[in-house]
Amino acid sequence: MKIINKVEEMYKYTRSCKSEITGFVPTMGYFHEGHLELMQRAKEENDLLITSIFVNPLQFGPNEDFDRYPRNEERDIQLAQENGVDILFIPSMEEMYPNKMTISLSINDRTNVLCGRSRPGHFNGVITVLTKLFHIIQPDKTYFGLKDAQQVAVVDALIEDLNFPLQLVGLPTVREADGLAKSSRNVNLTPKEREEASSIYKALKYGRKLVVDGEKNPATIIKEVKAIILKETSGAIDYVELLSYPSLNSLKAVDEQVVLAAAVQFKEARLIDNLLFDQSGNLVNRL
């Protein structure tokens, strides 16, 4: 595995292997099994696997956890090596943002709901860094976890609107044994919160079961999901929403592919999770 820190060197490398099919897994590091699954799948489906680690300040709000975001580069390098990464791109802040940006990208749709509403500017930061990374790396396919289903919907719009010649692959959320979605932020939960946190998945599963059993009214499903999270966790519900997917519009009835998503704020960690399913409640596992 080769580690590249400089944008210029990454460009040179990208140009030198134009004939190879490149899979790209962008990350902010502190790898967990979710990241490793993306890498393994990308390795299987491409000639070359490039992963990046960059904690992007542009996607964190002023009172968010940029400073607390967990980092462990040494461990990440070892895990990347063990999981078949060919090139690990770890640029510094100065490499990615040498000057104050003169151009700003902003996404107008798919972001006035879910995390986009609670985290103003977050997805503008995500599309900015991804635009830069897609230009630097020029991948053929890029891999994202469906745990952040809104991010996948946003990247889908970015690729479509700005004509990136690139295929988006969304892969299923990887979970702990008790169902909690794997996340770098889980380490910031207290032991009690960690125990409670699996109820988020339990609540979402119950919501999906209601659809399987014939319930079509989003408001009823949301109410039941919220009740379980409120009863079983000490976290504050940021949102529970049921929207069309990937367009993320509100619905009068569950009559198309939807995402049922929740965000819960614990003391030091804000957790998100979701389930994607069709109008009959059948799970959608890959995009």
Cα 18 to Cα 87, 141, 185: the distances in Å are 14, 13, 36
CB of 151 or CB of 186, closer to ligand PAF: 151
DSSP letter at 119 equals S
Query: Smallest distance from the beta carbon of 167 to ligand PAF, in angstroms?
Result: 16
Using rule CB under 6 A, residue 275 touches ligand PAF: no
Q: Is residue 95 exposed (0-12), middle (13-18) or buried (19+ Cβ within 10 Å)?
A: middle
- Name which of 195, 162, 169 is nearest 180 in CA terms: 195
Using rule CB under 6 A, residue 139 touches ligand PAF: no
CB of 123 or CB of 221, closer to ligand PAF: 123
DSSP letter at 173 equals P
CB of 24 or CB of 266, closer to ligand PAF: 24
32 tagged catalytic: no
- Name which of 86, 103, 91 is nearest 7 in CA terms: 91
Query: Smallest distance from the beta carbon of 133 to ligand PAF, in angstroms?
Result: 8
Q: Is residue 110 exposed (0-12), middle (13-18) or buried (19+ Cβ within 10 Å)?
A: buried
Query: Smallest distance from the beta carbon of 122 to ligand PAF, in angstroms?
Result: 9
Contact map string, positions 149 to 188, toward ligand PAF, x by CB under 6 A: --x-------------------------------------
Query: Smallest distance from the beta carbon of 28 to ligand PAF, in angstroms?
Result: 4
Of 23-31, 105-113, 169-177, 200-208, the segment contacting ligand PAF by CB under 6 A is 23-31
Using rule CB under 6 A, residue 259 touches ligand PAF: no
**How many other C-beta atoms are found inside a 10 Å radius of the C-beta of residue 271?**
23
**How many other C-beta atoms are found inside a 10 Å radius of the C-beta of residue 221?**
23
| Active-site pick, 32, 35, 122, 135 | 35
- Name which of 139, 151, 142 is nearest 56 in CA terms: 151
Cβ proximity of 61 and 121 under 8 Å: yes
Sole binder of ligand PAF in the list 28, 49, 50, 200 (CB under 6 A): 28
Using rule CB under 6 A, residue 126 touches ligand PAF: yes
Contact map string, positions 54 to 83, toward ligand PAF, x by CB under 6 A: --x--x------------------------
Cβ proximity of 271 and 194 under 8 Å: no
Q: Cite the active site residues.
A: 35
Q: Residues in the site for ligand PAF, rule: CB under 6 A?
A: 26-28, 56, 59, 126, 129-130, 148, 151
